[in-house]
Structure 1
Amino acid sequence: MCQSFLIFVEVILIGVTLDSESVQGDTTEIMSSARRGRFHGKPFGGNASQQSTSGVSDQLIKNGRKSGQLNLSSRGLNAAAESRGDADFDNDERWWDQVELTKLILASNKIQDLSEDVKLLSALQSLDIHDNELQGLPETLGELHQLQKLNVSHNKLSSLPSALFSCPQLVYLHLEHNNLSELPNELGNLVELDDLDVSNNKLCTLPATIGQLVKLKSINLSNNNLTVLPSQIQFLKGIRTLDLTHNQLTSLPKELGYMRSLEQLYVRHNKLKELPLLEHCSNLKELHLGNNLLTCFGSDQLQCLNSLTVLDVRDNKIAIVPVEITQLTTLERLDISNNDVSALPYELGNMVHLKSLVVDGNPMRSIRRDIIARGSEGIKKYLRSRIEMPEEPKKAAAVSSSGSGQTGLFGGGEQVDAHSVKVSRALDYSGKKAEEVPPEIWELGVSTQVTDLNLSKNQIKQWPSSLVLLSDWVVTVNLGFNKLTALHTDLGLCLRLQNLDLRNNCLSTLPKEMESLQNLHTLILSVNRFGEVPAVVYKLKSLETLLISGNQVAQIDVSSLRQLDKLSSLDLQNNNISVVPPELGLCTNLRSLLLSGNPCRNPRPAILNKGTDALLDYLRGRIVQ
């Protein structure tokens, strides 16, 4: 059982391609040498003159033989490790403690070739060779019938061996950042494939056989040269995430509307002039259409998107936002910045779940700039104020405020309607100029199990201790525009919390107990007194939006930011940042990065005004190699 592992330690792991003379040598001698722990020092690339100085310890090999997993990443390997001597493994290892190799990591080295002897690892399930200098792969990969995961991203591959598509168990295939100009028709043979990433290549077309990958859940085709998608894409009914960003698409096939499981669709930075009817995409939650040539989106298109929470149509040529957009009752983020919109439908102000409304860069005539500067809630409040109330409801409201005792209002006549709270499970006690929230308001919140709590625009100085009463249900909390100087550790008990708005307060720290908020998606800390991004923020692994503009943040901690792999929107405007590290450009998950209003000289305002993608490209270009 262990012989193939032992031979591969000698032949491949330590000298990834043994030179031709050694391959033709006596395998008995190879086996004997492997058992004694002697490594011949043959090069990874088959060039015996390029000896590596990086050693691979006997203990590492011994551990691999026992666990079935071997990690040789980031060792500068372009040649074999030198022998560490005559360690006799037979003296301290028992053969029954040794297992076949199932996981091999050779990432981040300088490997140029992979030996055909990889076939010796018949039990291999996971092979990671990303970030090397591979220009080709051996045909013998097809003999690894147990292989489930293959990562050969960030190499120099221009083609793929046909035998690769004979791996019947392959579920994960990452080929991003190579030089592939086409995918073979044999791709359709990988019927178990679950995750496919071919981004950052040179693909112009996709094979029609891609429709055979019926188990695919995620496919990344971004940063290629695709001009059209095959109609067979309709058969990918299991797809949840489809990324087509940065291609040359002028249209999307109508068949895209049959992808019933689709949850996230990214088509930013293409040449789309219209959007097909996504008739059956009832599970679509995020639609990213920024940086295209769209002039409108019709009511018939909006009616199909009942589950949408994010709609991004920034940087297009849209002139009108139809009132039918209010049918998207679950919408949380709407970005229509940098279009030709001159007015918004007033009904937008009544969209309860809409937390982020971005309208900058439009020739707005009906909304003053000072109102836009107040942010999403300010714009929504203005829009609500412009809605004319019918005569009969006006009279009813007057009766309600008369204090007849039958009104169902709470909060000392402040018109918090108990019936409305019960129906919507949203409690709005904002703009009351209150220093404390009345007990009856908390009682109402508990009795109706509210999920949305709005206490903004009051005079609250201390964290409301009674808020913990709602911790079992509350999903959204807005305490913006108050006078808070600190938060209570009880905040960490609100485990269902997804959106937290703390803008315009006097906060300088956050409690470490916030680490438990692992469902938090949006955190707004703008206009406070933070001198840095609080350390606990980097532990919020579900965070997608972080707004911390208008503080005194002086530095950008890129290494910590990169831990937030779901972060897509970061606003650091109007802080004290004097240096923008080029490594920030490596945060490629960012889809909105705002840095204006800082004292840094680079990037220049002209770069900042070009948008997030141009800014990230600029920063990456300044990284010292």
Structure 2
Amino acid sequence: MVLRSQETKITPAQLAKMDTSFQAWMRERHQAAILKRNAFLEELSHSDPDTITGLSYTGMDLEILPDLEKYKQVTRINVSDNQLKKVPATISYSRHLKSIVLTNNQIKSIRFKKNDSVIRLNLSENNLKRIPRSIKKLPNLKVLTINNNRIKRIPRWVGRMQSLNDLDLNYNRLKLTKASIRRLKNMEVLQMGGNHLTRLPENVGDLKRVKKLNLGKNQLTDVPASVTQLDSLNTLILYSNHFKYIPVTVTQIPQLQELDLYYNELQYIPRELGNMTHIKRLYLAFNQLKELPDTMRNLKDLTFLYVHHNQIAYIPRWINTLSNIEILDISYNQLFEIPDLSVMPALNEIDIQNNQIAYFPWTLLEKPNLKFLIVKDNPFILSKQEVKQLEKLTEELQTRGVIVRN
């Protein structure tokens, strides 16, 4: 007999009830926001404007921004989680203002008064179709967070903002061109994840100042050869793309210290990875890897190695020679045995769960600097006496603050 799950059908009456419940919840939320707003404005009305250095109008369902001109000593303004559609120029009136946060509104247009003191601006989670032109009036802006909007292009004037060096454009609708790259030449931190990018412009190597480049959650399968010219780059995030192999050009980025290729379709690691002698953090989990090449023994600076959720059947003994590794996660693979990891001096967090390991790694429990150990879901062959011994040792370790999962 074949049992099939029946599709749940929602009647019009049930829909109406659900809709009524949601509307009731929205009314309660709105009423709470109004009470919060009224209480805040009442308190504000009794305060001396010249003594206020921070204003927070969060979660008040504001549709219009209050007049802020009299607050001349303000350094921080936060108007997130409201219903603003327009933002007037008075928001940047204070000559002491350093930070403006306008996240999670419905902003479609915004104006700024010229202000040399603002260095941080957050416009994430709005309805912006373009980077607002009036940002030019904040010439000393350093950090612009404008993720989760509908932005498609990088305007020319962005390249002329000499102080702007940290730009978060995650989760937009970017269409990158060679001109876009030229306009981003001043960036040191550049985040463009979640933009459905299928390719990068050939001149991406012109981003000479970039130290951190986030291209995660796109649809990339390769990178241009010019990435080898990214002399300042130390962190490259390629998380959740469609790479079937690690591009050899990536292994030639001279100062790269962190490489994230989680959730790709990697089938092997190129031997050239062993040339990345500066690499410290390597994230290769959730792929289809079957082995670690011998050249990886050259990665003497490596501190974090994550290769869990792959198809690895063997961990080479040379892993013990990587004396700087602090965190090793080889869980959810197809391992039948592991080398003696207890001899690795810096190693303090180890995860070997969900493999096929039969011999319990007793020496790990004796490791003096152990902080975290997960060994569960392995077919360990243990006598009754050994089970009791393991329980006792686990309790002793936990009293010392060591986390053990077995």
TM-score normalised to the size of structure 1? 0.46
Q: Could you tell me how far apart the structure 1 residues matched to 2:384 and 2:231 are?
A: 51
Instruction: Give deviations 1:64-109, integer Å, cap 9, x for gaps.
Output: x65465444333202458x9xxxxx9xxxxx9xx537654332221
Q: Could you tell me how far apart the structure 2 residues matched to 1:479 and 1:366 are?
A: 21
Structure 2 partner of 1:175 = 192
Structure 2 partner of 1:281 = 299
Q: 1:298 aligns with which of 316, 331, 338?
A: 316
Q: Could you tell me how far apart the structure 1 residues matched to 2:156 and 2:140 are?
A: 17
The answer as to 2:76 corresponding to 1:60 is no
Q: Conserved in 2, the CA contact under 8 Å of 1:270 and 1:291?
A: yes
Q: 2:230 aligns with which of 213, 226, 238?
A: 213
What 5-or-longer segments of structure 2 have no aligned partner?
1-82
Structure 1 partner of 2:355 = 339
Q: Could you tell me how far apart the structure 1 residues matched to 2:210 and 2:268 are?
A: 27
Instruction: Give deviations 1:429-472, integer Å, cap 9, x for gaps.
Output: xxxxxxxxxxxxxxxxxxxxxxxxxxx75xxxxxxxxxxxxxxx
Per-residue deviation at 1:62? Answer: 0.6
SS at match of 1:107: coil
2:279 alignment partner AA? L
**Structure 1 pair 112–58 and aligned structure 2 pair: CA distance change class (3 A):** closer
The 10-residue stretch of structure 1 (169-178 or 121-130) with the greater mean CA deviation from structure 2: 121-130
Q: Could you tell me how far apart the structure 1 residues matched to 2:388 and 2:164 are?
A: 55
Q: Could you tell me how far apart the structure 1 residues matched to 2:126 and 2:278 are?
A: 38
Per-residue deviation at 1:128? Answer: 2.0
Structure 2 partner of 1:242 = 259
Structure 2 partner of 1:328 = 344
Per-residue deviation at 1:264? Answer: 1.8
Per-residue deviation at 1:296? Answer: 0.3
Per-residue deviation at 1:358? Answer: 2.0
Q: Could you tell me how far apart the structure 1 residues matched to 2:208 and 2:392 are?
A: 46
The 10-residue stretch of structure 1 (208-217 or 281-290) with the greater mean CA deviation from structure 2: 208-217
Q: 2:208 aligns with which of 191, 194, 198?
A: 191
Per-residue deviation at 1:136? Answer: 3.0
Q: How does 1:328-407 map to 2 (within 5 A)?
A: 328-344=344-360, 346-366=362-382, 371=387, 374=390, 377-378=393-394
Per-residue deviation at 1:208? Answer: 2.0
1:249 alignment partner AA? L
What 5-or-longer segments of structure 1 have no aligned partner?
1-51, 84-88, 90-94, 379-455, 458-477, 481-499, 502-521, 525-546, 548-570, 572-593, 595-625
Per-residue deviation at 1:333? Answer: 2.1
Q: How does 1:90-239 map to 2 (within 5 A)?
A: 99=116, 102-114=119-131, 123-160=140-177, 162-239=179-256
The 10-residue stretch of structure 1 (143-152 or 312-321) with the greater mean CA deviation from structure 2: 143-152
Q: Conserved in 2, the CA contact under 8 Å of 1:102 and 1:125?
A: yes
Q: Conserved in 2, the CA contact under 8 Å of 1:271 and 1:292?
A: yes
Instruction: Give deviations 1:367-397, integer Å, cap 9, x for gaps.
Output: 669829956944xxxxxxxxxxxxxxxxxxx
Structure 2 partner of 1:576 = none
Q: Could you tell me how far apart the structure 2 residues matched to 1:367 and 1:162 are?
A: 68
The answer as to 2:92 corresponding to 1:75 is no
Per-residue deviation at 1:339? Answer: 1.0
Per-residue deviation at 1:58? Answer: 5.7
**Structure 1 pair 53–99 and aligned structure 2 pair: CA distance change class (3 A):** closer
Structure 2 partner of 1:7 = none
Q: Could you tell me how far apart the structure 1 residues matched to 2:381 and 2:201 are?
A: 53
Per-residue deviation at 1:288? Answer: 0.8
User: Share of identical aligned residues, percent?
Assistant: 24
2:236 alignment partner AA? I
2:165 alignment partner AA? Q
Per-residue deviation at 1:361? Answer: 1.4
Q: Could you tell me how far apart the structure 1 residues matched to 2:132 and 2:87 are?
A: 19
Per-residue deviation at 1:175? Answer: 0.8
Number of aligned residue pairs:
324
TM-score normalised to the size of structure 2? 0.69
SS at match of 1:279: helix
**Structure 1 pair 101–272 and aligned structure 2 pair: CA distance change class (3 A):** same
Structure 2 partner of 1:563 = none
**Structure 1 pair 104–288 and aligned structure 2 pair: CA distance change class (3 A):** same
The higher relative CO (CA closer than 8 Å, separation ≥ 6) is in 2
1:105 alignment partner AA? N
Q: Could you tell me how far apart the structure 2 residues matched to 1:313 and 1:375 are?
A: 23
Q: Could you tell me how far apart the structure 1 residues matched to 2:202 and 2:89 are?
A: 44
Q: Conserved in 2, the CA contact under 8 Å of 1:145 and 1:168?
A: no
Q: Could you tell me how far apart the structure 2 residues matched to 1:266 and 1:309 are?
A: 14
Structure 2 partner of 1:494 = none
Instruction: Give deviations 1:503-523, integer Å, cap 9, x for gaps.
Output: xxxxxxxxxxxxxxxxxxx7x
Instruction: Give deviations 1:523-570, integer Å, cap 9, x for gaps.
Output: x5xxxxxxxxxxxxxxxxxxxxxx8xxxxxxxxxxxxxxxxxxxxxxx
1:61 alignment partner AA? S
Q: Could you tell me how far apart the structure 1 residues matched to 2:283 and 2:84 are?
A: 45
Q: Could you tell me how far apart the structure 2 residues matched to 1:372 and 1:215 are?
A: 53
1:243 alignment partner AA? D
1:340 alignment partner AA? Q
2:379 alignment partner AA? P
Q: Could you tell me how far apart the structure 1 residues matched to 2:125 and 2:245 are?
A: 34
Q: Could you tell me how far apart the structure 2 residues matched to 1:309 and 1:368 are?
A: 33
SS at match of 1:231: coil
Instruction: Give deviations 1:463-490, integer Å, cap 9, x for gaps.
Output: xxxxxxxxxxxxxxx672xxxxxxxxxx
Structure 2 partner of 1:446 = none
Structure 2 partner of 1:314 = 331
Instruction: Give deviations 1:1-26, integer Å, cap 9, x for gaps.
Output: xxxxxxxxxxxxxxxxxxxxxxxxxx
Q: Conserved in 1, the CA contact under 8 Å of 2:228 and 2:254?
A: no
Q: How does 1:477-556 map to 2 (within 5 A)?
A: 480=399, 501=401
The 10-residue stretch of structure 1 (226-235 or 335-344) with the greater mean CA deviation from structure 2: 226-235
Q: Conserved in 2, the CA contact under 8 Å of 1:71 and 1:104?
A: yes
Per-residue deviation at 1:248? Answer: 0.6
Q: Could you tell me how far apart the structure 2 residues matched to 1:377 and 1:209 are?
A: 53
Q: Could you tell me how far apart the structure 2 residues matched to 1:348 and 1:68 are?
A: 50
Q: How does 1:260-271 map to 2 (within 5 A)?
A: 260-271=277-288
**Structure 1 pair 356–232 and aligned structure 2 pair: CA distance change class (3 A):** same
Q: Could you tell me how far apart the structure 1 residues matched to 2:388 and 2:253 are?
A: 42
**Structure 1 pair 69–322 and aligned structure 2 pair: CA distance change class (3 A):** closer
Q: Conserved in 2, the CA contact under 8 Å of 1:228 and 1:251?
A: yes
Q: Conserved in 2, the CA contact under 8 Å of 1:118 and 1:141?
A: no
Per-residue deviation at 1:116? Answer: 6.2
SS at match of 2:181: helix
Q: Could you tell me how far apart the structure 1 residues matched to 2:122 and 2:339 are?
A: 52
**Structure 1 pair 373–192 and aligned structure 2 pair: CA distance change class (3 A):** farther
SS at match of 2:180: helix
**Structure 1 pair 342–368 and aligned structure 2 pair: CA distance change class (3 A):** farther
SS at match of 1:371: helix
